[in-house]
Copies of this chain bind each other. A is one copy, B any other.
Amino acid sequence: MLDLELLRRFVAVVDTRSFTIAARELRISQPALSQGIARLERELGCRLVERNRRDPSTGVLVTAAGATLLPEALALIAAAERAEARTRRAASSPRRQVITIGFSPGTPPALLDAALTSGADGIEVVAVQLAWGREHEALVDGSADLALLQYPLGAELPQCVLRELARVDRVALLPVDHPLAARPEVRLADLAGEPILDPGFEDGPVGFRELWLGLPRPEAAPIGRVVGPPKATVDEMYAFVAAHRGMAITTAAVPDVYQRGDVVARRIVDLDAVALGLGLLAGDRRAGVLRTASAMVERITAQGG
């Protein structure tokens, strides 16, 4: 690996056209400079300058190799100084580090509260609401450092790490005047053929679309028509159901927070629960992000247990 200090000496020699003068400028002895250039030349396996003591007006000349190296050396030195300055600045910067946590519309507020207060020593956690099912995308494209998301039990997200924080049952959102609304809970068989809100996720990770369609269904109780387009907010989802366009499947956490007189939620007893967890990029090595994630997991699992 090239030694930037030697490159700097090489530049000095070329600039001054003299080992003696360059050595004086560099505050080292002339022999040390000679040896330094020799060291660089030895590493590169070629001569960089032609020592020309005949003509003091001409001085030291640059070889073809030296002429090639010179601009690169200047660029490298400048880049190194920039890198050093930036690193120093990043370290001493008084501004707090900001970590963004994305969450989907159905996220329980308690979870979000806990997440927002998990920022430690100089770290501020900012929440960003994502569209349904955009959590993975947000992590990958960097628009969120962390994400609170719902996912099928045991599911994996490519390039991501998932830490399960809680589980919630799935519920069916139904119009209040729907025959099934009278029951305390429902089964998939009851929902056979019911039109259902399109959850989107066609291009998302495997299993996510099926989660909100309640698939797979028993053979005797097939899924009804899937009615699109997908909704971006909880509000839209409820409006869809209230308008008798169809039912929707969501988590029990949603009706805890959001209520409407014309829509009821009924637990679907024969569907698995949904995992509610924290996602982050598998390759993320940032101390602030990882520590915040740990703090969130610790805090939420503690309060949950």
The residues of A with any CB-CB pair to B shorter than 8 Å are 1-5, 8, 14, 17, 44-48, 50, 52, 58, 60-69, 72-73, 75-77, 79-80, 82-84, 86-93, 97, 285-288, 290-291, 294
Interface of A is mostly: helix
**What is the distance, in angstroms, from A31's C-beta to the closest C-beta of chain B?**
21
Give complex CA distance A286, B5 in Å.
22
CB nearest neighbor in B for A288: B64
Contacts of A92 in B (CB 8 A): 46
Copies in the complex: 2
**Which residue from B46, B62, B63, B287 sits with its C-beta under 8 Å from A88?**
B46
**CB distance B4 to A61 under 8 Å?**
no
Contacts of A87 in B (CB 8 A): 44, 46, 48, 65-66, 68-69, 72
Give complex CA distance A76, B90 in Å.
18
**Which residue from B45, B62, B89 sits with its C-beta under 8 Å from A286?**
B62
**What is the distance, in angstroms, from A88's C-beta to the closest C-beta of chain B?**
6
New A-B contacts (18) at CB < 8 Å, excluding given A72-B83, A75-B79: A14-B285, A44-B84, A45-B88, A45-B91, A47-B91, A52-B287, A60-B285, A61-B291, A63-B91, A63-B287, A64-B93, A64-B287, A65-B91, A69-B83, A69-B86, A72-B79, A76-B80, A79-B79
